[in-house]
Every structure is written in structure tokens, then in C-alpha cells.
């Protein structure tokens, strides 16, 4: 047996059988390649043995994508170099080349401190670094809440975060990547270089093998989306691989586009007296014109986030009883629904004007300028971030508590998004169903993109079942509204039934046709995206 | 109640970088902020005002741009903000700073209570508050964690000491310095920002406060820095390989070889059934 392949014995490597979805799988062996050469060697071994292969990044996924069904696990956490920097003078843009195992948090730290492992960098990379130091700080905009995610995992899931409202998802910042295919070849994809024209494409691997294919016609929802393959008749082939949840190839290197760090960042949490007022504020903030409402025009925020009254109630309780949340600001009784808005700008003076305009909007929506928290320093912004993270964290703590008496329940968290025009309807749908069912639930999330996480908090197994039924009902309703069943976490192994709701059997067959082109034996990440897709 | 809060601008980073050649703090590219301990002082003052009435004045000595910081204190609810700014104040140590602040406070007139943060996070000296009290001839108490009672005449505080707590009562007017646990500072609201727009920051020069040139700035600073250095952190890490139980026994062995664990026949080895 190949020395890179380690056997999974009774007690070893157990943690690699699960991810943050808390589902647990099975596997016979595992590897931790450190080079692309090793990745290829392992793929050759897999082919020889004809066993399924599951790819892992940092295993923070919430849909079980990195949980093996059986066979071999290739864990990429040690393929984690930051390999170089490129400066493109024409567009005045920097691109950082990384291996997939680099964690988002490490990438951020390196960019913040401008400290990179430059020993193996080329003179061009070093010159680019010099240029970067002169130009000032840059950042990588995708911002999933979980910063211990790996870049490979983020690309595989097309991860997004609060800032996606303005900056877009991970997809927008992947300029190029290298992918190892299941035939052992390496494919280099660079934006603008492998264009699909009228549905047809031809690409050649580095080893000289040509793949020709046809992109099936599919209508994707016009919303933030992480469900199924990205398919368009005129598209860039790199976009097919981004968000494909590791079912088409193994991302072994990526070139990421960086942006200059904004000089000024302001965040405002606004507390509105009702949900209706909060929804109106959201609509104004994202530029919708609302009849009979005279308000100043706000520049586009970079983030619009939401916390419903139940989420605030949960935080009130936590603040009172849990020392970990003592640092939360006081939530006054009149605070009903909260909206967090963030702006990036050239100066504090500019953003202070924006804040004053926002005040006018808040008043026009029926709120009070007094009921706001304005953060203008990294220190205060950190406080508002702590507040935002406190909601999901409180939910997880509560569920862990309840699992002690009923271990079969889990949190039921939705990840669906709808088009702008459906915002009020979808909130009504959730509120109505939750009230009618008597279930306990909190809602929060990326409301700018109409992407609300509903977290149902079951108190019993019965309630858990009820919650699951609601979840499926909502998936159907959201598909009917033109939305998506997963906007950011992906389909993985846990939501394949929802994907079927969204695209129907016909749609799934279209995805399968693409899958066959790159992985005809269905050996790579079996079980992801496709319902009942075994490795057999 | 007339309350004065002394505030200082500090670099907005916990990681102060030092220039290894000159030993001075690198301030370029580092944003600034209100000294965190001063934000607790301001919050306590605002809470006292909310319960007892009166007014809160913030005061700082610094470069002209510190006016922005003082504006932020107005947005939080201070009624008035004073900036002592003059080239002649430059290079002040803690004594010269305390003198300048005392002169500014004298010009303000009477007061009941002065609140300072326990120290500034850039210098960490904790000297300005007590020195200022001495210059003004009022009693002071450091490291206050709670104001237990206060009226027009006296203040009773819970004070943090190395050994625990003590309750101390002072006659007003007095000066206290506060620690982080005293409260959770509020964030400004948009309403506060709007209000602050129409409130100017008062600028006073050395002459405005009638400061003696021999007691301010570099000239008034007896502190001499003979040398500075960047402390070397000696942190060594060791890595244990193997499966979990192998790693655990290696760790136990290492810790006991360093004398950090009790004798081997203690609880640990007995646990191996
Ligand atoms: C508390 C919490 C908060 C979260 N918040 C967000 C959020 O705000 N936004 C968001 O988008 N997600 C969020 N997530 C989900 C998760 O962090 C993201 O999906 C992330 O992108 C997964 O990265 P990972 O490295 O952990 O991937 P893994 O979980 O290891 O893998 C995820 C999928 O990617 C595949 N994969 C990984 N690396 C590669 C590779 N190099 N090549 C091919 N396929 C690969 C795996 O096979 C798997 O299918 C959150 C998770 C948690 C636990």
C-alpha cells in the first residue's frame, strides 16, 4: 500500500469522519497530501483500487459535504502554502496564489500583517509584495462567519457572508485555479480563458487530454445561490467548478483577487419598533423606491443583516444569565427588530454624513435615531460583530442543552434565499408557520439578499419532526417564489432532497451529465449534490 | 453634579510596534482611538449625570486632531469638551501632563468629581490621575470598581486591590480612576452624532490656561528615558506526534520531568485501569 495512505483503525482519525453538520460517516483510509504531486499519486491509487474518494478542507461545512460515505478521505489541511503574489499593473490589482488548505483566518492575518512565507517566492512575487507594501493594506472580501474554513472549502461551496451583499460571494474573487481531475490530470482554469460559447466548451488538461462538453440549458434562480452547479450558456468554465462541492475535481491551487482595504468602515445597528418598520428600512437601504416615503438616497451598504424579535429576546436572556454574554450592550425593551448596516468609504467625514442620512431614513420608517449603535473604530466594530455572532452561538448552546435530554434532536437551520420582491412574503410565511405550529424559532441573517436563517429550536422529538416538515414546506414555497434552497452552505449530503425540489429530476439529470464528463465512475465526493449517489 | 473626565488618544491597536533602531513607537498607519479605560470613566460619568443631574466635561491634552476624539465624547453624551493644544505642551511626561490638565481644570472653575481611566494603554504608567489630584489638592482613589454611594458631599467606592477589595469613602471634590469592570461603555447613537455636530470643542493654548512654560512640555518633564528596548519573548514549543494516547503519555512524561506534575504514584497513573 502507498505510504501516503493511512489506515483508519478503531480509535484513530475518528474526528475526520464528521464535519460541523455533526453527521458522522465511514471510511477505510485517509491521507494528508502536502504537494500536488502527492494529490495525484493518491488519485492514481484510488483509481487502481476503484474506491470512493471524499475531499476535506477544514470540515466546517454544515451540509455534510466533507463527511465520507466510505472509501478514502483526502484531507487537504496540509496543502496549505501561500505560494506567491502577482501584481497586474493594467488593472492595478493584486492576486494571491494559495493552496486549498490555507485557512481564511490565516489568509486574513497574513494580509493584515503583510507577512508571508516568502522563502520560496519568485522574484516577481517579491516585487509584487514590495508594490503591495507601498500601496497599503488589501483584503479578501468573502467573509463566512466561520473563519476557520479553508480556501478550498470556500471555493467548493462558493461561501459567502455579510459583506456578500456588496462584494458578492467567493466566486467573484477566484481569478484562476488548478484542479486535479479523477483521471489524474491537472486542469488550469483562468478567468476569461475557457469560455463556454452557446453551451459548448473544450478544455485541455496540462497533460494534453481534451475534454469537450455541452452545458445543458438550465434556469438558475436570480438570487444568492449555493445549490447545484452553476450553468449558463455563456459562462466562464471556472464558474462551473466554483460551488460544485468537490464533485468535479480537486482544487489544488487558487489565485485570489484582492481589493484595497477601505479607509473608513462604519457599522450601525438600528433597533426598530416593529418588524414592518425594519423591513421597510431594509428596502430603502438597498435602494428600493417606496411610494409615499420621502427619504434621502443612501449609498449602497456593504452589509444588511437582520435579527428578529425572538433573536433579541434570546440575547436578552443570555445577557442576563450567561457570563459569556455579559459584554453585550443593553437591549432596551422598546427594541423589537434589529437591522445591522455597514458602509465602507474613503473617510470618516464621508461616512458620518451617511450615518446622518440613515438617521433620517430610520425616522421616516417609524424608528428613533436614539435607538442605534454606531461603531466607527475597529474596537467598536468588534463589539457589533460579537453581538451578531452571539445569536447563532446562543442557539447552539441552547440546542446542546436540549440534546442532553433528547439526543436525537438537532438544530434545524434554513439557508434559503428569495428574490427581492418576495421579501415581505417570505417573512410572513415564516412568521405565520412558526406561530401556528407553536415551535420555538429565531430568525436572523443576510436580509439584504433576502437570505434569512430560520433556526427552529425543538424542545422534543415531536417538535423536531414538526420542524422538519415545516422546513420541507418552506423549501417548496421558496422554490415557487423563484428562490434557492441553499444560498451559502451548499447541498452536501444533507440537502439533496431539497435540490430535487428545486430543479426536479430533469434538472438533476442535467447536473449528472456534467458530472459524467469529469468523473465518469462517480468516484469523487459521492453522495454530494446528487441524491443517492453511491460510489458504486 | 459637575463631573470632569480626562481622556487620552491612544493607537487603535493592541500590538504596539516599536522601531528596533530608535526604540520609539511606530505611529504611522496606526489609527487612533479613545484610551479604553477612559471610555469606562466617561461611561461612569454619564451614568452619574443620568441619575443625579449635572454636567459632564471631557478634557484632553494633545495634538489638534484629538478634537475628533473629543467630538466623539460629545456624541456619547458629554456636555462640553476641552482640548489643551499647543506646541509648548509637546514632549510632556506624566508630571507635565498632570500640570497642564490641572491648569485647564482650574480655568474650568469648580467641580465635584474628576474621573480618569486607571491608566493609558500605550504608556501604562497610571500616574497622571494621582498626580493631577495632588496638583489640584483633592483626595483621590485609584482602581475603583464600583461607586457604591455618592451625594453632594462624599463618595463611597469599592476599590480593587492586589489582595481583594476595600471600601473607601472620600470627601468631594475628589478624583477617582476606574477599572474595566466598573461598567460596559455605551456606543454612540445617530442622535448623539447629530447633537455633537452643533457642539464645538473648546481649544485652549498654554497661555489660555496661564501655564508656566517651565512646567509644561519637554522642559517641564523630569523623566529621562535613558534607553528603550524591544522585549524578546522567549516562547518555545514542542510537538508530540503519534495517536492521542501516545501524545498524552508523552505530555505527562514531559510535564513531570519539568516538575510541573505531582509524583507519578498520584492520581494520574492510578487512572490507567
Ligand atoms: C459556525 C459556522 C458558521 C458558518 N457560517 C457560514 C457563512 O456565514 N457562510 C458560508 O458560506 N458558510 C458558513 N459556514 C459553512 C462553512 O464554513 C463553509 O461552507 C466553508 O466554505 C466550508 O469550508 P471547509 O474548508 O470547512 O470545507 P469542508 O467542510 O471541509 O468541505 C466542504 C465541501 O467542500 C469540498 N472541498 C473542500 N476542499 C476542497 C477542495 N480543495 N477541492 C474540492 N472540494 C473541496 C468538500 O468535499 C465538501 O464537499 C459556517 C459554518 C459554521 C460551523
CATH number of A52's domain: 3.30.43.10
DSSP string, A114-131: T---GGG--HHHHHHHHH
Q: Does residue B27 fall inside a structural domain? A: yes
DSSP single-letter state for residue A287: T
B38 pLDDT above the threshold of 90: yes
Q: Does residue B48 fall inside a structural domain? A: yes
Q: Does residue B54 fall inside a structural domain? A: yes
Q: What is the mean pLDDT of residues B145-173?
A: 95
A295 pLDDT above the threshold of 60: yes
| Chain B interface, best mutation among A132, A138, A269, A374, by max B CB count within 10 A | A374
Binding site membership of A102 for ligand 1 (Cβ less than 6 Å):
no
Predicted local distance difference test score (pLDDT) of residue A156: 97
Polymer length in residues for chain A: 536
Average pLDDT, chain A: 95
Q: Are residues A484 and A410 in the same domain?
A: yes
CA distances in angstroms from A319 to A24, A43, A325, A387, listed in the order given:
33, 51, 5, 11
Q: Are residues B107 and B38 in the same domain?
A: yes
A193 pLDDT above the threshold of 90: yes
In this complex, the residue of B184, B186, B193 whose CB is nearest that of residue A356 is B193
Q: Are residues B194 and B242 in the same domain?
A: no
Q: Which helix (H) or strand (E) holds A80?
A: none
Q: What is the mean pLDDT of residues B216-227?
A: 86
Predicted local distance difference test score (pLDDT) of residue B266: 45
| Inter-helix orientation angle A275-285/A348-364, to 10° | 140
Q: Are residues A296 and A344 in the same domain?
A: yes
Q: Are residues A229 and A343 in the same domain?
A: no
From the list A415, A488, A422, A419, the residue with the least C-alpha distance to A453 is A415
Number of domains making up chain B = 2
B123 pLDDT above the threshold of 90: no
Predicted local distance difference test score (pLDDT) of residue B22: 60
Q: Does residue B221 fall inside a structural domain? A: no
In chain B, the percentage of residues whose pLDDT exceeds 90 is 66
Q: What is the mean pLDDT of residues B196-225?
A: 92
Contacts of B179 (CB under 8 A, 6+ apart): B37, B40, B118, B143, B144, B145, B160
| Inter-helix orientation angle B190-197/A348-364, to 10° | 120
A327-336 tens-digit pLDDT: 899 999 999 9
A484 pLDDT above the threshold of 90: yes
Gyration radius of chain A's alpha carbons: 23
In this complex, the residue of B13, B187, B197 whose CB is nearest that of residue A374 is B187
Q: Are residues B48 and B163 in the same domain?
A: yes
pTM: 0.89
Q: Does residue B101 fall inside a structural domain? A: yes
Q: Are residues A410 and A266 in the same domain?
A: no
Cβ(A461)–Cβ(A439) below 8 Å: no
The angle at the Cα of B120, spanning B114 to B121, to the nearest 5 degrees, equals: 150
A83-100 tens-digit pLDDT: 999 999 999 999 999 999
Number of domains making up chain A = 4
Q: What is the mean pLDDT of residues B198-227?
A: 91
Instruction: Give the residue from chain A lying closest to B17, CA to CA.
Output: A113
Predicted local distance difference test score (pLDDT) of residue A532: 65
Q: Does residue B34 fall inside a structural domain? A: yes
A38-55 tens-digit pLDDT: 999 999 999 999 999 999
- Inform me whether the C-beta atom of residue B2 falls under 8 Å from chain A C-beta atoms: no
- Inform me whether the C-beta atom of residue B185 falls under 8 Å from chain A C-beta atoms: no
Q: Does residue B110 fall inside a structural domain? A: yes
Q: Are residues A125 and A217 in the same domain?
A: yes
A5-31 tens-digit pLDDT: 999 987 789 999 999 988 899 999 999
- What is the domain range of residue B241? 236-267
CB contact under 8 A, B188 and A374: yes
Q: Are residues A428 and A445 in the same domain?
A: yes
Q: Are residues B26 and B104 in the same domain?
A: yes
Q: Does residue A534 fall inside a structural domain? A: no
Predicted local distance difference test score (pLDDT) of residue A152: 98
- Inform me whether the C-beta atom of residue A353 falls under 8 Å from chain B C-beta atoms: no
Predicted local distance difference test score (pLDDT) of residue B47: 97
From A477-481, B232-236, B268-272, the region with the lowest mean pLDDT: B268-272
Query: How large is the ipTM?
Result: 0.89
Q: What is the mean pLDDT of residues A362-378?
A: 95
Q: Are residues A174 and A184 in the same domain?
A: yes
Polymer length in residues for chain B: 273
B267 pLDDT above the threshold of 70: no
Cβ(B117)–Cβ(B41) below 8 Å: yes
- Inform me whether the C-beta atom of residue B12 falls under 8 Å from chain A C-beta atoms: yes
| SS3 call for B24 | coil
A535 pLDDT above the threshold of 50: no
| Chain A interface, best mutation among B12, B42, B189, B195, by max A CB count within 10 A | B189
Q: Whose C-alpha lies nearest to ligand 1, atom 8?
A: A144
User: Rounded to a whole number, what is the distance in Å from the CA of A436 to chain B's nearest CA?
Assistant: 37
- What is the domain range of residue A106? 84-260
Predicted local distance difference test score (pLDDT) of residue A367: 97
Q: Which helix (H) or strand (E) holds B1?
A: none
Q: Are residues A481 and A368 in the same domain?
A: no
CA distances in angstroms from A285 to A345, A359, A447, A448, A525, listed in the order given:
16, 12, 11, 9, 41
State how beta strands A138-139 and A259-260 pair.
Answer: antiparallel
Chain B residues close to A348, C-beta within 8 Å: 68
Predicted local distance difference test score (pLDDT) of residue B202: 97
CB pairs under 8 A between A and B: 64
Which atom of ligand 1 is closest in space to residue A392's alpha carbon? 1
Count the neighbouring beta carbons within 10 Å of the beta carbon of residue A22: 13
Binding site membership of A526 for ligand 1 (Cβ less than 6 Å):
no
Amino acid at each position: 500500500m502507498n505510504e501516503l495512505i493511512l489506515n483508519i483503525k478503531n480509535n484513530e482519525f475518528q474526528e475526520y469522519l464528521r464535519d460541523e453538520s455533526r453527521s458522522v460517516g465511514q471510511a477505510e483510509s485517509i491521507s494528508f497530501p502536502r504537494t500536488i504531486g502527492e494529490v495525484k499519486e493518491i488519485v492514481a491509487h484510488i483509481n487502481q483500487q476503484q474506491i470512493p474518494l471524499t475531499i476535506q478542507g477544514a470540515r466546517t461545512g454544515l451540509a455534510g459535504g466533507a463527511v465520507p460515505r466510505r472509501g478514502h478521505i483526502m484531507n487537504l489541511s496540509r496543502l496549505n502554502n501561500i505560494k506567491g503574489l502577482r501584481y497586474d499593473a493594467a488593472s492595478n490589482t493584486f492576486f494571491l496564489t494559495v493552496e486549498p488548505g490555507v485557512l481564511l483566518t490565516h489568509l486574513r492575518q497574513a494580509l493584515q500583517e503583510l507577512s508571508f512565507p516568502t522563502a520560496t517566492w519568485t522574484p516577481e512575487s517579491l516585487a509584487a509584495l514590495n508594490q503591495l507594501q507601498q500601496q497599503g493594506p488589501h483584503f479578501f472580501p468573502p467573509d463566512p462567519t466561520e473563519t476557520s474554513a479553508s480556501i478550498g472549502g470556500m471555493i467548493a461551496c462558493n461561501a459567502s457572508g455579510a459583506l456578500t451583499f456588496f462584494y458578492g460571494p467567493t466566486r467573484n474573487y477566484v481569478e484562476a485555479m488548478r484542479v486535479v481531475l479523477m483521471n489524474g490530470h491537472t486542469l488550469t482554469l483562468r478567468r476569461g480563458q475557457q469560455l463556454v460559447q452557446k453551451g459548448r466548451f473544450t478544455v485541455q488538461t496540462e497533460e494534453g487530454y481534451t475534454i469537450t462538453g455541452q452545458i445543458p440549458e438550465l434556469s438558475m434562480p436570480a438570487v444568492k445561490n449555493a445549490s447545484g452547479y452553476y450553468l449558463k450558456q455563456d459562462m466562464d468554465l471556472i464558474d462551473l467548478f466554483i460551488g460544485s462541492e468537490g464533485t468535479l475535481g480537486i482544487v489544488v491551487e487558487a489565485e485570489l483577487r484582492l481589493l484595497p482595504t477601505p479607509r473608513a468602515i462604519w457599522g450601525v445597528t438600528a433597533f426598530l419598533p416593529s418588524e414592518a418598520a425594519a423591513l421597510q428600512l431594509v428596502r430603502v437601504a438597498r435602494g428600493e423606491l417606496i411610494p409615499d416615503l420621502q427619504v434621502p438616497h443612501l449609498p449602497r451598504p456593504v452589509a444588511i443583516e437582520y435579527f428578529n424579535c425572538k433573536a433579541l429576546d434570546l440575547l436578552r436572556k443570555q445577557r442576563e444569565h450567561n457570563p459569556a454574554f455579559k459584554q453585550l450592550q443593553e437591549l432596551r425593551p422598546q427594541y423589537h427588530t434589529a437591522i445591522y448596516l455597514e458602509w465602507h468609504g474613503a473617510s470618516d467625514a464621508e461616512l458620518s454624513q451617511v450615518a446622518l442620512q440613515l438617521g433620517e431614513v430610520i425616522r421616516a420608517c417609524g424608528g428613533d435615531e436614539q435607538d442605534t449603535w454606531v461603531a466607527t473604530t475597529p474596537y467598536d466594530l468588534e463589539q457589533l460583530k460579537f453581538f451578531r455572532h452571539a445569536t447563532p452561538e446562543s442557539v447552539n448552546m441552547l440546542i446542546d442543552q436540549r440534546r442532553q435530554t433528547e439526543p436525537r434532536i438537532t438544530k434545524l437551520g434554513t439557508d434559503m434565499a428569495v428574490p427581492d420582491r418576495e421579501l415581505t412574503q417570505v417573512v410572513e410565511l415564516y412568521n405565520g408557520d412558526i406561530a401556528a405550529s407553536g415551535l420555538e424559532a429565531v430568525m436572523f441573517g443576510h436580509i439584504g439578499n433576502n437570505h434569512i436563517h430560520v433556526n427552529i429550536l425543538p424542545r422534543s422529538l415531536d417538535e423536531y419532526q414538526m420542524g422538519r416538515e415545516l422546513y420541507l414546506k418552506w423549501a417548496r414555497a421558496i422554490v415557487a417564489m423563484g428562490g434557492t434552497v441553499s444560498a451559502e452552505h451548499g447541498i452536501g449530503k444533507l440537502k439533496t432532497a431539497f435540490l430535487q425540489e428545486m430543479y426536479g429530476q430533469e434538472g438533476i439529470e442535467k447536473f449528472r451529465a456534467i458530472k459524467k464528463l469529469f468523473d465518469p465512475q462517480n468516484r469523487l465526493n459521492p453522495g454530494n449534490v446528487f441524491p443517492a449517489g453511491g460510489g458504486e | 453634579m459637575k463631573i470632569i473626565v480626562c481622556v487620552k488618544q491612544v493607537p487603535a491597536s493592541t500590538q504596539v510596534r516599536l522601531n528596533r533602531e530608535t526604540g520609539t513607537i511606530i505611529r504611522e498607519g496606526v489609527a487612533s482611538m479613545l484610551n479604553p479605560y477612559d471610555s469606562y470613566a466617561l461611561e461612569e460619568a454619564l451614568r452619574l449625570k443620568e441619575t443625579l443631574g449635572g454636567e459632564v466635561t471631557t478634557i484632553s491634552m494633545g495634538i489638534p486632531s484629538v478634537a475628533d476624539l473629543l467630538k466623539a465624547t460629545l456624541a456619547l453624551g458629554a456636555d462640553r469638551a476641552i482640548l489643551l493644544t499647543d506646541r509648548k505642551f509637546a514632549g510632556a511626561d506624566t508630571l507635565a501632563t498632570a500640570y497642564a490638565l490641572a491648569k485647564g481644570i482650574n480655568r474650568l472653575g469648580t467641580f465635584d468629581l474628576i474621573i480618569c481611566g486607571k491608566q493609558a494603554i500605550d504608556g501604562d504608567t497610571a500616574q497622571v490621575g494621582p498626580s493631577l489630584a495632588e496638583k489640584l489638592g483633592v483626595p483621590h482613589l485609584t482602581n475603583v470598581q464600583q461607586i457604591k454611594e455618592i451625594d453632594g458631599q462624599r463618595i463611597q467606592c469599592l476599590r480593587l486591590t492586589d489582595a481583594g477589595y476595600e471600601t473607601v469613602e472620600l470627601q468631594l471634590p475628589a478624583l477617582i480612576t476606574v477599572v474595566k469592570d466598573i461598567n460596559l461603555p455605551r456606543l454612540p447613537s445617530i442622535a448623539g452624532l447629530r447633537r455633537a455636530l452643533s457642539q464645538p470643542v473648546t481649544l485652549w493654548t498654554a497661555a489660555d490656561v496661564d501655564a508656566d512654560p517651565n512646567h509644561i512640555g519637554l522642559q517641564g518633564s523630569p523623566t529621562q528615558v535613558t534607553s528603550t528596548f524591544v522585549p524578546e519573548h522567549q516562547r518555545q514549543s514542542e510537538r508530540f506526534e503519534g495517536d492521542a494516547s501516545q501524545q498524552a503519555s508523552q505530555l505527562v512524561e514531559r510535564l513531570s520531568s519539568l516538575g510541573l506534575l505531582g509524583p507519578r504514584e498520584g492520581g494520574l497513573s492510578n487512572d490507567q485501569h
